Structure 1
Amino acid sequence: MFLRFSTTETTEPDRTLQLSAEQAARIREMTVITSSLMMSLTVDESDLSVHLVGRKINKREWAGNASAWHDTPAVARDLSHGLSFAEQVVSEAHSAIVILDSRGNIQRFNRLCEDYTGLKEHDVIGQSVFKLFMSRREAAASRRNNRVFFRSGNAYEVELWIPTCKGQRLFLFRNKFVHSGSGKNEIFLICSRHRHYRRAPRSGATAYSGKYRQYHRTAES
């Protein structure tokens, strides 16, 4: 496992450090909720104690900020920003909530989402919501809308047919934008379920539901 980092939040990673097996295991224990840990890294042939503040962003990657152990204000700032981001999810925990990045990749998938779909957050994190829960036609339209909404930054509502453990359900989502916590400053979309209906599915929904079942088996295998 490698640690890639940059000296500022606005530039791409340009340095790489190889981690020991123990260090890699500690990072792999970090979940999608922002947390911190302290470890010693060898940088330019010198040992440096750092605080890592970050979270899991997909099945194979973790991201966040690294600060020298004596830089307490920076550590506190990064952790508080990251936890503030997480608390926005907790504050709406009575709803099914999905957080997406600008590409439509899942960043958070709360417990009610797990209950509705039968999927676990750690299985879907970093995956495309368009591929998991939409037909090709719906995905194409949603991608176009997503680009427009991210450019405008305005909150909006949308109705989507979602395959659940109890069949197709039409969900009304209320969506709003938030800034990320620690690490590179990004805009994320919080999609919270307002209500759902049991109206008859539209034509083509059967194939859409079948696609979901195929993925579900793959996720459990």
Structure 2
Amino acid sequence: MNIRTIKPALASASAVLVAGAIVLPVYDLGHLSRHMMLHIASMNLVAPLLAACAIAYRPKRDIRVSWLWTATLIQIVLLWTWHSPAVHTIIVQSPAIGLALHGVLLLAAVFFWFTLLTTSAARWQAIPALLLTGKLACLLAALLIFAPRSLYESAGHLVHAAEHLPAIRALDDQHMAGLLMITACPLSYLVAALIITLQLIGRPQTSAAVLPRRSLLADR
């Protein structure tokens, strides 16, 4: 098992797990924020761990950089599409479709983490891929946090009619969902980017330490 290869995924999942253990016991989650927690758990906890397991128990293969950027684009598009009001309305009306979309999003996240961890020819490109994903996740979270009204009014009416919750509760729930995303998602991607950066910085130092030793042996 190559711990160095899967270390960014393990550190990322650990950071999300710790943040969730701190936040979840404190706040009461509504419909939308519960869905957001499911997204975070699948994309930033389960997905990196599944990718790490796949790499740990199979021969290492070098994935082309183009696959990394393809996986990055797919994950971002699916994330934004999932949180569009029209799609969210469909999910509320059909739990089966919602479950299927959760599965597709999980597969996209596993694909992203797998390509991220197995791209070694241009390892540094994993860093901008992580930062871009985290930045766009932050932008989506900011829309949920600072929106003056509920963005999911049609879906919200269906949910709150059953739960007998006031309209202001829907907006608070939306803000909480955005706060969860803006905390967990960038934290996950930034931790992984930091680990990869430290690994790239440490690699030349190892080579530089071996080179003088070989030169001394040659002089003798």
Q: TM-score, normalised by structure 1?
A: 0.25
Q: Which has the higher contact order (CA 8 A, sep 6+)?
A: 2
Tell me which protein shows more helix as a share of its residues.
2
Rg: which structure is higher?
A: 2
Q: TM-score, normalised by structure 2?
A: 0.25
